[in-house]
Amino acid sequence: MNKPDISNAWLALAKHHDQVLALNIKDQFAINPKRFSEFSLNSCGIFLDYSKNRVTQDTMNLLFDLAKTAEIARYREEMFNGSQINITEKRAVLHTALRNINNASAPEGKLIQKELKHITECVHRIRDGKWCGYNGKAITDVVNIGIGGSDLGPAMVVSALQPYVTHIKVHFVSNLDATHLTETIKYLNPETTLFIISSKTFTTQETLTNAISAKEWLFSKA
């Protein structure tokens, strides 16, 4: 792979940046009445309007040149094919397969369907009071421990699904500062609390530290 940040395409884009830095958006609309239609697009239910940014057709051409230099098209295909494009962890990047869950022939498709079914079963057991704590009491509180997307993603889903909230209370811990976890569990009952450790690799230090603290809290109350 070429290094895009030292390529001629990158240097040309950096030079162009200085040229459009003082671009007046209002003037650009006056010069080109078709600017809105030329610098916006609608695809897959998503509308993107970039006409109000300091971009010209030259800007777009330079960006496309940089994309070619970075071999984005090749890496995109390798990602969808399940190739190991994550070179630091030597693994495939399979989050795209979650958007194609009905295709069992997609990379890891059957495994994803199996895990989603498992998640569904767990959720129903918790909501129906069949998933119990160590002394047989039904779960009343769920604490998600994660950081970054492992915190923001679940939190967004919980917020979006507020109309469907049941008796289960959901809490989130993402800060390495012990106060965050302490204040979250202060009024929780360890007998009815379930912790979810949310992590892609389970090597994130902040998440592991909070997980260990949560385990110690449970053992201290058992």
Q: Can you give the CATH number for the domain in which 214 is found?
A: 3.40.50.10490
pLDDT truncated to tens, each residue of the chain (222 aa)?
556 677 999 999 999 999 999 999 999 999 999 999 999 999 989 999 999 999 999 999 999 999 999 999 999 999 888 889 988 888 888 777 777 766 656 666 777 888 889 999 999 999 999 999 989 999 999 999 999 999 999 999 999 999 998 899 999 999 989 899 999 999 999 999 999 999 877 888 889 999 999 999 999 987
Which of 174, 183, 159, 179 minimizes the C-alpha distance to 211?
A: 174
Rounded Cα–Cα distance for residues 13 and 83 (Å)? 30
Number of folded domains that form the chain: 2
Residue 108 falls inside a structural domain: no
Residue 117 falls inside a structural domain: no
Residue 207 falls inside a structural domain: yes
Residue 77 falls inside a structural domain: no
Domain that holds residue 66: 4-70
Last residue of a domain, one of 39, 70, 101: 70
Last residue of a domain, one of 39, 54, 70: 70
Which of 60, 65, 63 minimizes the C-alpha distance to 39?
A: 60
Tell me the one-letter amino acid at 32: N
Do 63 and 136 belong together in one domain? no
Rounded Cα–Cα distance for residues 155 and 78 (Å)? 31
Handedness of CA 64, 66, 68, 72 (dihedral sign): negative
Residue 81 falls inside a structural domain: no
Residue 112 falls inside a structural domain: no
3-class secondary structure, 169? strand
Q: Could you tell me the two tokens for 163?
A: 């109309």
Last residue of a domain, one of 20, 48, 70: 70
Residue 86 falls inside a structural domain: no
Do 142 and 63 belong together in one domain? no
Do 136 and 216 belong together in one domain? yes
Residue 142 falls inside a structural domain: yes
